[in-house]
Amino acid sequence: MIIVGAGPAGLTAGIFARSRRLETLILDAGKAGGQLVFLYPTKLIHDYPSYIRIGASDLAKLMVTHAKEQGCTINEDEEVVGLERKEESCLVKTSKGEYEGKTVILAIGMGLFEPRRLGALGEDKYHGNGVYYRIPCAEDFEDKRVLFVGGGDTALEMALSLESIAKEVILIHRKDVFRAMEENVENVEASKINVMFRTELKEIQGNECVNRVVVFNNETEEDTTIDVDAVVINIGFSPNLAKATEWGIELDEKGKHIPVDASMRTSIEGVFACGDIVMYPGKDKRIVTGCGEGATAAISAYKYIKKPYWA
């Protein structure tokens, strides 16, 4: 079995595949652990059953260790660039070589993590020098004044994760209400975070690095200049599925997800999918749901290989 993506969904699929003693290769374009290590390693996770709270990178490390202990081979820094259905197998082409599997599970999350850009003046100029789309290391923001942009769970959770580290955290949102889980909204309300609703980022200014921003209140139509050291933009990620289209997989009408049935089957025989990349009625993008789908995908793939399946 070849699993593309070593996030929670792919790693869980690997653990289940190995319990059926399938030879299992997991390929990841980056580091194993998915979004937990790439996007929010220092954030605490409160909704993964049995861990009342656990750091994202610690949870990812445990999942990777579990998959390896079960006997999965995990190749990091190896991007899958092609997928071809053969008569009896699937050929997977990567940045480093080719592999043939009896079945493939696509667990590619949001693709290769392309954050949505805001398009504010100065955003491109200061990218990497004060403008960020993720928080790789919370300590880098120690004693800094940080402005977050966004009103969804990602923005709120990232802002909360820096509240006790940064000198000041400001959160601006263009609407007058957050689009986030009640728990996150409550935590922000109870925090010291300075929330500015109906506010949009107009311009990022500075010299070598970011020094200040100009924000625009879309209700009063007034501009305000605020001194900040960093801007973190969290307005979502654009799934990059250009390659999946070339692989011949049917996507949903927006071209952003892979529709699956209850067995996690895709439109290509022998190819299954799980995690953030899939869509079905009632789908929710969480770690625990991705893990559940990973288990289902692995069991379905096992049954597919073992045709006729009886045990």
Closer to ligand FAD at the Cβ: 144 or 283?
A: 283
CA–CA gap between residue 198 and residue 221 (Å, rounded): 10
Question: How near is the Cβ of 113 to ligand FAD at its closest, in Å?
Answer: 7
CA–CA gap between residue 240 and residue 114 (Å, rounded): 7
Closer to ligand FAD at the Cβ: 66 or 125?
A: 66
One residue of 14, 34, 206, 239 binding ligand FAD per CB under 6 A: 34
Residues 203-262 that bind ligand FAD (CB under 6 A): 243
**Which residue intervals of the chain are DSSP H helices?**
8-19, 35-38, 56-69, 153-162, 182-189, 242-246, 287-305
270 contributes a contact to ligand FAD by CB under 6 A = no
Question: How near is the Cβ of 27 to ligand FAD at its closest, in Å?
Answer: 5
One residue of 19, 20, 30, 218 binding ligand FAD per CB under 6 A: 30
Residues 145-204 that bind ligand FAD (CB under 6 A): 154, 157-158
Residues 64-93 that bind ligand FAD (CB under 6 A): 79-80
Q: Please say whether the beta carbons of 103 and 301 come within 8 A.
A: yes
* DSSP assigned state of 252: -
Closer to ligand FAD at the Cβ: 288 or 305?
A: 288
13 contributes a contact to ligand FAD by CB under 6 A = no
One residue of 1, 3, 8, 251 binding ligand FAD per CB under 6 A: 8
Closer to ligand FAD at the Cβ: 5 or 206?
A: 5
Angle between helices 8-19 and 56-69 (to 10 degrees): 20
Angle at 252 between CA 248 and CA 255, to 5 degrees: 75
* Bridge partners for 230 per DSSP: 146
Closer to ligand FAD at the Cβ: 229 or 276?
A: 276
Give the SS3 label for residue 244.
helix
Contact characters 282-311, ligand FAD, x per CB under 6 A: ---xxxx-x---------------------
Q: Please say whether the beta carbons of 171 and 160 come within 8 A.
A: no
Question: How near is the Cβ of 19 to ligand FAD at its closest, in Å?
Answer: 18
What's at 59, amino acid-wise?
Answer: L
130 contributes a contact to ligand FAD by CB under 6 A = no
Pairing of strands 54-55, 44-45: antiparallel
One residue of 4, 92, 147, 258 binding ligand FAD per CB under 6 A: 4
Phi first, then psi: give them for residue 247, nearest 5 degrees: -75, -10
Angle at 81 between CA 73 and CA 111, to 5 degrees: 85
Residues that bind ligand FAD (CB under 6 A): 4-10, 27-30, 34-36, 39-40, 43, 45, 47, 79-80, 107-112, 154, 157-158, 243, 275-276, 285-288, 290
